[in-house]
Structure 1
Amino acid sequence: MRFSGFKTKTVVIALAAAVATSAFGYWGYGELREQQLRNEVTALVTDASLRMQAALSAEAVDDPAILRRFYEHAEAVDADFRKLHDADVTPVADLAYAADDYLLTSREILLRWASSQRHRLELSGSIKALQKHMRADNRTGAWVSEAIRAKERVEDDYRDYNRAVNALSTLLGTFPASREKMAPYVDAALLADERLVQAAREQALAASSQAADEVDRIRQLRTYR
C-alpha cells in the first residue's frame, strides 16, 4: 500500500510538472509572439516616419520625376497600412490602434503633399502659358478667344491647387495628435519630427498665398481689346 501510494504521488507530481511546463511554454510563446508583433508594427511606423521626413524636407518640386517619388512614398505607406490591417494584432491592440491612426494620417499627408506639388506645377505651367500668349498679342479675335481659354485654365488649376493645399494644411495640423498617440509605445526618435511637420505646413500656406497673389495679378490682365 505504501508503495502504491508513493507511486500515485509520483504520477500526480509528474502530471503537475507537465502541466506547469506546458503552461510556461504557452506563456513563453505568447510573450515571444507579442514582442514579435510589437517589432513588426514599430517597423511599419518607422518606415512611414522616414518617408514623411524625406518628402516634407524636400524643396519645392519642378521636376515630374521627383514628384513621382512623393507618390511612391504615399503608396509605400499605404502598403504599410494594409499590412497592419491584414495582421492579427490582438495581442498588441493598443499599439495597433495608435499605429493605425499614425499610418493613416501619414499616408494622407504624403498623398496630399504630392497632389499639392503636382497642382502647383500645373498652375505654374498655365500661368506661364497665359503670360506668353499675352506677350504675343496681335489683337485678333482668335487671340482673344485663346486668351480667355488660357485664363480659364489658370482658374481651374488654381482651384485644384487651392483645394489640395487646404486639405494638406488640415492634415498637417492633425499630425501632432497622431504622433502623441504613438509616443507611449515607441522611441520618439522613430517618429516624424513635429517641427518639420509644422515647417511643412507653414511652407504650404506660404506657397498658397504666393499663388493667390499670382492669380490675382492674372485676373487683372485684359483679355479683350
Structure 2
Amino acid sequence: MKPGVIRTFAVLGIIGGILQFLNVFFDEYVLGLDKMAHDVTIGVIDLVSAILIVIGLIALLAFHEKPGKNLLVSFLVLFFGMSLFIGFKYVESFALPMLYEHARPLAEDPPSPAQEGIMVTFMLFALSWLYFGISLLIKRQLPIAGAIIAMIGPIADFIPIDFGIQIAPEVWGIGIVWLSLAVFRGSKASDAPLDRSGAVST
C-alpha cells in the first residue's frame, strides 16, 4: 500500500479516535434536542467513529512491512470483533432510541437472548483488541504505550469500579489516536518509503 494511502487511512483513524474520546462530552452537552434526537445523534457519532477506526486499522496493519502471521491473524480477529461492535452501534443508534420512545421496558431490560448477545459482542470486542494489542507489542514497530492504552480501553468496561463517567471510550480513543498518529508521522511523504525506524517509542 502506498504511503500516501496509509497516511490518509491513519488520519481517518485519528478522527475516529478523537470522536470516540469526545463522544461522552457530546452526550453531556448536546442540548436543545428531545431524547430520541439526542440518542440518535450521539449514536451516529459513535457509529461513524467506529467505522473510521476500522479504516484506521488498515493503516496500522499496512504500516508493518512484514506483519507476520500472528499480526495478520490478530487483525482478522479484530476486524470480526469490530464488525460485531459496529453492528451493535447501528442498532444502538437507530433501533434503541425508538424502543425507548415506544417500548421503554424492552429497551431497559432486553429479554434473552438479546442480553446474552450484547454481552458476547462486547466480550469478543474486548478480547480481539487485547489480542491485537499484544501482537503490536510483539512487533514493536508502533508506540508501546499507545498499544497498551488501545487494548485496555475496551476492557475497562468490565472493571467493576464506578469512576463517575464512562472511561472506556476516552481511554480507547486516546490509544487509537496515539497509534494512528505514529503511523501518520512514519509516512511523511506520499512518494517516500515509510520511516519505521523511529516508530518504537512510548
TM-score (normalised: structure 1): 0.41
Q: Which structure has more helix as a fraction of its residues?
A: 1
Greater relative contact order, per chain length (Cα 8 Å cut-off, separation 6+): 2
TM-score (normalised: structure 2): 0.44
